[in-house]
Amino acid sequence: MRPVRGTAAVTAVAVALGALLPAGAFAGERREPGIGQKPGVGREPGVGQKPGSGRERGELLSAKKLETYTAVQAKKRLKAEGFDSKKVKYGVDTYRLVYRTVNGYGKPTKASGLLVVPRNGNKRLKLVSYTHGTASYRPDAPSTSPEDGFVQGAPLTYGAAGFAATAPDYLGLGLGPGRHPWMDVRTETTASLDMLRAAREFLPRKGREARRDVFVTGFSQGASAALGLARELQRGKKWFRLRAVAPISGAYDIKGVLIPSMLTGKAQPKLSVAYTSYLLVSWNWKASIYDRPEEVFKQPYASRVEKYFDGSTPGEVMLKGLPDTLAELLTPRGFALLEKPSGRFAKALRDEDAICRDWTPKVPVRLYYDSRDEQVAPANSTSCHAWLKSTLRRLPATTYGGSPHLGSNLAGTAKAVRWFASF
């Protein structure tokens, strides 16, 4: 999640749970393949095969220089947003990469992302993949929000510490077409992996090379996305080699923890309304939740809720346009769906929550969380820890804009960069 600027009533972020469909696809148009149905995966470059040799996943389409920061400037920018700047050693150059990937149908599409490259003398660079928190507005992605120090703070931290840091925008955000699929680990994984491939192709243009080692991290939505990338890298047959994983404040247990916390009022009420709206709208493509929005949303919200999450509505506008409580938002059927998920919706939840349950990491994993988190209940992390057998690390109390959840991105990044630097 990211801060919503200019919203006095809400000091936290709007969520990012988009729907991976072509524009206008909500009204009875072609849907995504059903849960459990395998989409096409596109051509994968084999181990040792150089990227950029054809129309393959991860092929670099364009690269644009964004900014150059000296080490002093990088420290100043990080400090301004509350990030720990003590690991800053180098200045950095930032770039926007646009690359080939696949959508939820397995069909070719493109995505964009931010690459941060340290200005040091190292020719061969270790990689950090950072997957960002929720954004519902297309420009609020890492590569298209240069003035947003919060969303760029983590990749800037890793770059200034000496890593080449990638921060994919995900599908449907930044310069990618279509709608963004929120909390869809499958497409977050493909976008993240293909961003690494694009960075590997780009670095030689600057006289640098990517090392095979990849350190994986992410915040909030990006925490489960980070686990998805780590799981895929561990499966092998990729040029890259997973080294360590450090997710921060993730919603790893949507059915068992996140939804109940919103229904019972334990999570921040206004943001629970935003999360719930985004969840039902964006998951409709893969779970057939409703045919018409008014089946689950009360009026007047049913007539405008899908517009709020098509990528064209700023987060502050979305929040102001939604009610303050779930009772004002949901119909009885909407409540019933969340209280007792069934059918394809229940299957979609099981598949998403499997990110902590269906694999055993072979590298060190540290799950970072804040026990005061008002948006993503800490039980998400403790539940994931029990399944993964990972190391669970409680973060020091930190806030950003009054939000412990957002503050955990600052505190978690400070911990993760030190840990990664120790390898």
Q: How does pLDDT run across 237-260, given as a tens digit for each residue?
A: 789 999 999 999 999 999 999 999
Q: Which residues neighbour 232 within 8 Å (Cβ) at sequence distance 6 or greater?
A: 189, 193, 238
SS3 state at 191? helix
Domain residue ranges of the chain, discontinuous segments joined by +: 52-254+354-421, 255-350
Q: How confident is the model at residue 236 (pLDDT cuts 50, 70, 90)?
A: confident
Average pLDDT over residues 168-185: 95
SS3 state at 86? coil
Predicted pLDDT of residue 197: 98
Task: Report the relative pairing of strands 209-219 and 241-248 from DSSP bridges.
Answer: parallel
The tokens of 167 are what? 């921060």
Residue 33 has pLDDT above 60, yes or no: no
Predicted pLDDT of residue 11: 37
From 314, 311, 292, 313, select the one nearest 303 (Cα to Cα).
Answer: 292
Q: How confident is the model at residue 105 (pLDDT cuts 50, 70, 90)?
A: confident
Average pLDDT over residues 179-184: 92
d(CA 71, CA 74): 5
Query: What does R_g of the chain's alpha carbons equal in angstroms?
Result: 20
Predicted pLDDT of residue 323: 98
The tokens of 227 are what? 């686990």
Q: Which residues neighbour 394 within 8 Å (Cβ) at sequence distance 6 or greater?
A: 369, 370, 371
Predicted pLDDT of residue 383: 94
Sequence letter at residue 307 = K
Measured between alpha carbons, how far apart are the two ends of the chain, in Å?
29
Q: Decide: pTM greater than 0.75.
A: yes
CA distances from 57 to 41, 117, 168, 252 (A): 9, 22, 14, 27
Omega cis (within 30) before 300: yes
The tokens of 310 are what? 């098509």
The tokens of 122 are what? 């190292």
Torsion of CA 292, 295, 296, 298, to 10 degrees: 100
Task: Report the relative pairing of strands 164-168 and 209-219 from DSSP bridges.
Answer: unpaired
Predicted pLDDT of residue 5: 41
Taken in order 8, 10, 12, 15, the sign of the CA dihedral is: negative
The superfamily (CATH) of domain 52-254+354-421 is Alpha/Beta hydrolase fold, catalytic domain (3.40.50.1820)
Sheet hosting strand 164-168, strand order edge to edge: 60-69, 92-102, 108-118, 164-168, 124-131, 209-219, 241-248, 366-369, 391-394
Fold entry, domain 255-350? 434 Repressor (Amino-terminal Domain) (1.10.260)
DSSP state of 159: H
Average pLDDT over residues 40-66: 65
Sequence letter at residue 43 = R
Tokens 């072509």, located at residue: 22
d(CA 338, CA 341): 6
Predicted pLDDT of residue 394: 98
Q: How confident is the model at residue 23 (pLDDT cuts 50, 70, 90)?
A: very low
CA distances from 2 to 102, 184, 343 (A): 25, 18, 32
Contact 81, 159 (CB under 8 A): no
